[in-house]
Amino acid sequence: MVAVAILAAGRGTRMKSNLPKVLHTLGGRSLVQRVLDSCHLINPSRQLVIIGYEGEQVKQCLQSIPSLEFVEQREQLGTGHAIQQLLPHLQDFDGDLFVLNGDAPLLRPETLQNLLHIHKTNQNAATLLTAHLPNPKGYGRVFCDNNNLVTQIVEDRDCNAAQKKNHRVNGGIYCFNWPQLAQVLPKLSPNNDQKEYYLTDVVQYLNPVMAVDVEDYLEINGINDRQQLSAANDIMQDRIKNRWMAAGVTMIDPDSITIDDTVKLEVDVIIEPQTHLRGNSVIGAGSRIGPGSLIENSQIGQNVTVLYSVITDSEVASGCRIGPYTHLRGEAKIKEACRIGNFVEIKKSEVGQKSNVAHLSYLGDAILGEQVNVGAGTITANYDGVNKHPTIIGNRTKTGANSVFVAPVTLGEEVTVAAGSVVTNDVPNQALVIARQRQRIIEDWKNKIQQK
Ligand code: UD1
Ligand code: MG
C-alpha cells in the first residue's frame, strides 16, 4: 500500500509574494495541484497535504479533488517537522509513504513509478530521487557510497567548500518505509544554519537509503523564487510544444507561442506567432490559428482560420473564418462555414451555418439561422439595464448596415432589413422592414441661410 504526503505548509519567503508558494500557477494549474497530478501512476490509497501558511487558501484551491486529507503544521519548523505531524494520522498505516515537495511541479508520473519499483525490489528503508545538476546552488547535496547508498544529505547553506563541489542533489522526492520512518522521526533536531528540523537528516538513522538518479534532471526543478518559476514555465512549454510537433502540428516561431498542457491539437494544425492556447481548448485538424490570437476553453473545428482574435468559452465549427479582430465569448456557438470578421463581438449567441457577420457588429443573446448576412455595424440591443433579452433572426435574412435590434425581438426568414433601422417589433417572413425616418431634402438651403 502506498500513501502520499505533499509538503505544502511553507510560505515560500523567496517568492516575495502574498500568495503561498504552492498556489503560484504554472500553465494554469497551481504547483501543488501539479505535484498531486504526478502521483496518478503510483495509485496512492491515501493522499495527505500538509498545510500551514495560508492553509485555508491551499485547502480551497484543492477543494475539487476528492478524498484529500489535510494535516496542519501550525508552525513551519522545517520539512522534518512537517512530516512529524503525520504521526498521529498514519498510526495504523504500514505501507510505503511518498513524500513530495509541493514546489516540484515538473515531475513525471513515470519517474515516481520507477522510484517505487526500485524501492520495493531492494526493500529499502528509503529511496530518494537525485540528479546531477550543472548548477546545484540552493539544493541539498547527496553523499553516497559506491553502491548509491546514501550516507548524508547536507543543505547548500550548511555545506563547506569541499561539499559544495558535489553536484549530486536531493530532488525532494522520497519513498519511505513508513513504519521505519515513523520510528526515527522523533530523533530529528534543528542542528543547522536555519535551526529547522530537516527531513533529510533521517537518512542518518535509516538503512538502506538508496539514491536514484532521475533521467531528465529538469524534472526535479524546485520552485523557490520567481526566476525558477519562469524557468519551469519554459521547460514545461518546451515539453508541450515538442510533444505536439512530434504529433504533426506546425508551429511558426514556437518561442512566441504558449500552450497549456490541457489543450488538445489535431494533425496539421498550424499555430502562428504570438498565439496562446489555454484551458481545455481543442483545435481541429488543418486549422490555422494566429498570428496574435488567444483561445481559452474553446472548441475549434477542422480547417478553421483564426486571425488576431480572442475566443473564450466558445465553439467554432469546421470551415469558419474568424477575424481579424473578432471576440467570441460566453458560449458563442458558430456553426459550419461562417465568416466572422473585423471588429465583431459575439456573446452567448448561436450563428447558423454559412452565415456572415463580417464587420463591426455586436451580437448578444441572439440566435441566427443559416445563411444569414449581418450587415456592417449591426447591433443587438440585448440589455435594458436590468435584464438581458433574446434576438432571433431566421434563415437567409439580411440585416442592413447599422441596424439595431431592440430585444426581445424576432425576425422571420428571408427578411430584408433596411440600413439604419431600429427594429423594435417582430417582422414576418420575407418582409422588408424599414424602421427609420424617410430622407427629406430642402432645396436651395444654403442660399436661404445666407440671405438671412
Ligand atoms: C528542500 C530539501 C533539499 C532539496 C530541495 C529540493 C530539506 C531540508 N531540504 O530544500 O535537500 O534539495 O528541497 O527542492 O528538506 N515545507 C513545509 N513545512 C516547513 C517547511 C517547508 O511544508 O516547515 C514545504 C514547503 O512548502 C515546500 C517544501 O516543504 O513545498 C520544501 O521546502 P523548501 O523551503 O522549498 O525547501 P528547500 O530549501 O527547497
Ligand atoms: Mg524548495
- Tens digit of pLDDT for each residue in 35-65? 999 999 999 999 999 999 999 999 999 999 9
Q: For residue range 90-126, list pLDDT tens digits in order.
A: 999 999 999 999 999 999 999 999 999 999 999 999 9
> Is 141 inside any structural domain?
yes
pTM, full prediction = 0.90
What is the helix (H) or strand (E) element at residue 110, kind and residue range?
helix 109-121
Ligand 1 touching residue 169 (CB < 6 A): yes
Confidence grade of residue 452 (pLDDT, cut at 50, 70, 90): confident
User: Which residue, chain included where needed, has cell 481545455?
Assistant: 280
CA distances from 129 to 103, 175, 216, 329 (A): 15, 9, 11, 45
**Counting Cβ atoms within 10 Å, is residue 95 exposed (0-12), middle (13-18) or buried (19+)?**
middle
CA distances from 7 to 26, 103, 174, 330, 371 (A): 18, 8, 11, 37, 57
SS3 167: coil
User: Is it the case that residue 27 has pLDDT exceeding 90?
Assistant: no
> Is 9 inside any structural domain?
yes
pLDDT at position 358: 97
CATH (domain of 108):
3.90.550.10
Specify whether 86 is located in the same domain as 149. yes
> Is 228 inside any structural domain?
no
Specify whether 93 is located in the same domain as 142. yes
User: Is it the case that residue 383 has pLDDT exceeding 90?
Assistant: yes
Looking from the CA of residue 10, the nearest atom of ligand 1 is 26
CATH (domain of 298):
2.160.10.10
Q: For residue range 240-282, list pLDDT tens digits in order.
A: 999 999 999 999 999 999 999 999 999 999 999 999 999 999 9
pLDDT at position 234: 96
Domain that holds residue 214: 2-220
Specify whether 264 is located in the same domain as 325. yes
Options 89, 117, 167, 359, the catalytic residue: 359
Number of structural domains found in the chain:
2
Specify whether 296 is located in the same domain as 150. no
Q: 168 - beta bridge partners? A: 132
Is position 132 annotated as part of the catalytic site? Answer: no
Looking from the CA of residue 169, the nearest atom of ligand 1 is 12
Specify whether 252 is located in the same domain as 214. no
Q: How many CA atoms lie within 13 A of 87 on its CB side?
A: 13
The residue nearest atom 25 of ligand 1, judged by CA position, is: 10
Specify whether 301 is located in the same domain as 177. no
> Is 333 inside any structural domain?
yes
Taking the centre of ligand 1 as the mean of its atom positions, its distance from the CA of residue 139, in whole angstroms, is 9
Looking from the CA of residue 171, the nearest atom of ligand 1 is 6
